[in-house]
Amino acid sequence: MDRKEYDQLAEELKPTGHKVKNGFNAFLYGGVMGVIAQAILEFFMNVYHCSQKEATPMMTITLVFFACLLTGLGIYDNIAKHAGAGTFIPITGFANSMSSSAMDSRSEGLIFGIGSNMFKLGGTVITYGIVSSSLLGVIRYVITLFW
Amino acid sequence: MNYIMAFLFSGFVCFLAQMIYDHTKWTPGHITSLFVVLGSFLDLFHVYDKLVDIFHAGALIPITSFGHSLMHGAMEATEKFGIFGIAMGMFDLTAAGISAAILFSFLVAILFKPKS
Amino acid sequence: MSSRFFGNSLKLENVYIASTGTTCGPLEFQGPLGSCFDKGFDDHYCGEESFEKAERKMLRDALDICLKRENMKYKDVDLYIGGDLMNQITTVHYLAREIPKPFIGIYSACSSFCLSMALSSLLIEGGFIHRAVSLVSSHNATAERQYRYPVEYGVQKKDTTTFTATGAIATLLTDEKTDVRVEAITLGKVVDYSQNDPNDMGRAMAPAAYDTILTHFQDLKRSFQDYDLVVTGDLSTYGHKILKEMLQRHKIDVVRYNDCGCMLYDLNQQEVFQGGSGCACSGLVTMGHLYPMLKEKKYKRVLVVATGALLSPILTFQKETIPCVAHAISLEVV
């Protein structure tokens, strides 16, 4: 059996999975996450009598805190199993990637374990966020100079 | 109304990511990176600001908002410090999220063991 | 070459299984074969501080149970051969510090079980040693950490993922007659069908199993009819289907064929995706389930084809395809 034929056979027998259910779940969990975020946002806006922009970091911090806590208690991955992208796309997913990496490496000590492994998965988001923002930032800066 | 808008947009972004995840070999790492780049791109012509005005928290919670905030902070600082502002202001708006994530992750790693 | 060699296969005459010890994690213990294993742990830590130490403890317990059955000490065995899934095969090597006898560490991914049994058998058959112990272990959390993601990372597994079994197996082989013997072995060659998805081991490894089974049958002029059961190591539900289809297309009548990954767990009840994988998967099923069945003479002869995907995460990221191998051993009632 050659490779092409094999690939054909394997594709035929591939498990179909639950793509529709996964998509629906992602939408549902992601949406609920948005509602929770909105509730927290409005709560802080009322408590501190501030604008949405000022309350945003407070909302982020609160969500990050709960995501880390749930990761520590071993609950987050059980939710993520069903939610899929509904939990890794919101900022909580970033918090989970950092806390899970840190926690996983705790047996290797403070420096080579927690310290150096914390950004193992989450680092890519920061890297590409900064690289793309710098590039696009320069472009926009140049545009505004000449316009 | 705000809640419905938040639900719809956040859900839509997650749905989009799930479609990519299910139909390609990309990992969550690939997809979150793509979405961050997308977020900062949408801020190039202030599109993302409009999304935030309409969808509120729905647009603030997906990771796309992280790219938008990085870009936004950088752009605000360029007004005062010119080209240097890009690096100086990069973390202005996202500092809270990242600091919190580092601090809480550290504490969690000290206090808890992975459960499996 | 002696007349016992047939291509890549070899018929053996005086290698016997004297005793075995099997330990497993919580999920395997709750599975359909749970009662077959000598010792099951309630949690993945097994009372240790880290998952790596837990895996070593499981392996030590398996070895102790195995030798205790024959009232032997570590020094009564001539040679130890073992392997696991960790980098630098640390589980067996760090355990070997406690063993006052020569030790050979081998790596053949999930097929380490059959490879270590085959090598021990060869050395005994050759008359170089009298007793050898084959050791293998795998642990879900340590494998997950090394090959995939942190244990607590919230990620939805792809549909084709397999679940690394937690368990350890020690098997004592001797040249003194017992009820069950290792009757033939086939060492596989490494094949690569250009598969590059590390979340789809069944698809990557099926061609290796196919190659080894075919070689075994051709070399020894046998077919599925000569065995009461043929098991593959960890092809999972998906790989099992592919292999069956491949063999049928080659006009081979597939009967009494199963996969250890599907036998070890209750696929409908337990969350193991496509089924079990890892060194412990084939080991636990063979030594925990098939060996007692052979001893009770319910089976006469079984073929175990352990499959291994020899991938490393680094090379997978470098876009290399996955080389795979399968080794077969045939066990027979004396």
How much is the ipTM here? 0.92
Would you say residue B107 has pLDDT above 60? yes
Range of the domain at B38: 2-111
Do residues C40 and C76 share a domain? yes
Residue of A nearest to C236 (CA): A15
Q: Which residues of B touch A71 (CB under 8 A)?
A: 108
Residue range A98-124, pLDDT digits in tens:
999 999 999 999 999 999 999 999 999
Is B116 inside a domain boundary? no
| B28 vs A58, A88, A132: nearest CB | A88
CA distance A43 to chain B (A): 12
> Which residue among C50, C152, C203 sits closest to A76, beta carbon to beta carbon?
C152
> Of all residues in chain C, what percent carry a pLDDT higher than 90?
86
pLDDT score recorded for residue C271 = 86
Higher pLDDT, A145 or A135: A135
Whether residues C197 and C163 fall in one domain? no
Domain end residue (candidates: C174, C195, C211)? C174
Chains near C (3 or more Cβ pairs under 8 Å): A, B
Chain-chain contact of A31 with B14 (C-beta, under 8 angstroms) = yes
**Could you tell me where the DSSP H helices lie in B1-116?**
2-23, 28-42, 47-55, 57-60, 64-81, 85-89, 95-111
| Distances from the Cα of A53 to the Cα of B48, B52, B91, angstroms | 14, 10, 15
pLDDT of residue C204: 93
- Give the count of Cβ contacts less than 8 A between chain A and B: 258
Which pLDDT score is estimated for C102? 95
Q: Let me know whether C184 and C169 are in one domain.
A: no
Beta carbons of B116 and C140 less than 8 Å apart: yes
Q: Tell me the two tokens of residue A63.
A: 């969500």
- Residue finishing a domain among C153, C174, C195: C174
The pLDDT assigned to B14 comes to: 95
Q: Are both C45 and C155 inside the same structural domain? A: yes
Q: Could you tell me the CATH number of the domain that includes residue C233?
A: 3.40.47.40
Q: Do C167 and C188 belong together in one domain?
A: no
Sign of CA dihedral B15, B17, B18, B19: positive
User: Closest residue of A to B102, CA-based?
Assistant: A98
pLDDT at A99: 95
Q: Read off the pLDDT of each residue in C11-39 and give the average, rounded to a whole number.
A: 93
The pLDDT value given to residue B115: 82
Domain of C197 in residue numbering reads as: 180-333
CB contact under 8 A, A15 and C160: yes
Residue C41 has pLDDT above 60, yes or no: yes
Q: What's the whole-model pTM score? A: 0.92
A85 close to B (CB below 8 A): yes
Contact between chains at B105 and A121 (C-beta distance less than 8 A): no
pLDDT band at C5 (very low <50, low <70, confident <90, very high): confident
Query: Mean pLDDT of all residues in chain C?
Result: 93
Mean pLDDT score, C188-197: 92
Quote the number of domains for chain B: 1
Query: Chain B within 8 Å of A64 (Cβ-Cβ)?
Result: yes
Give the mean pLDDT of B78-97.
Answer: 91
- Tell me the domain boundaries of chain A: 3-104
pLDDT digits (tens, 9 = 90+) for A31-80: 999 999 999 999 999 999 999 999 999 999 999 999 999 999 999 999 99
Over residues B20-49, the pLDDT tens digits come to 999 888 999 999 999 999 999 998 888 999
Interchain CB contact of C49 with A (< 8 Å): yes
Instruction: Decide if C51 touches B, using CB distance below 8 A.
Output: yes
Q: Which residues of chain A make contact with C205, given a CB cutoff of 8 A? A: none
Residue A81 contacts C where some CB pair is shorter than 8 Å: yes
Which chain C residues are within 8 Å of A122, Cβ to Cβ? none
Tell me the CA end-to-end span of chain B in Å, nearest whole number: 40
pLDDT at C17: 96
Chain A residue whose CA is closest to C145: A104
Strands (E), chain C: 5-6, 9-11, 16-24, 39-40, 79-84, 103-105, 131-138, 163-164, 167-174, 180-186, 229-232, 257-259, 276-277, 301-309, 324-333
Q: CA nearest A108 in C: which residue? A: C50
What pLDDT score was predicted for residue B42?
92
Is it the case that residue C185 has pLDDT exceeding 70? Answer: yes
Beta bridge partners of C306: C327
- When divided into structural domains, chain C yields a total of 2
Instruction: Indicate the pLDDT class of residue A18, thresholds 50, 70 and 90.
Output: confident
User: Is residue C43 less than 8 Å (CB to CB) from chain A?
Assistant: no
Yes or no, beta carbons of A42 and B22 under 8 Å apart = no
pLDDT of residue C1: 42
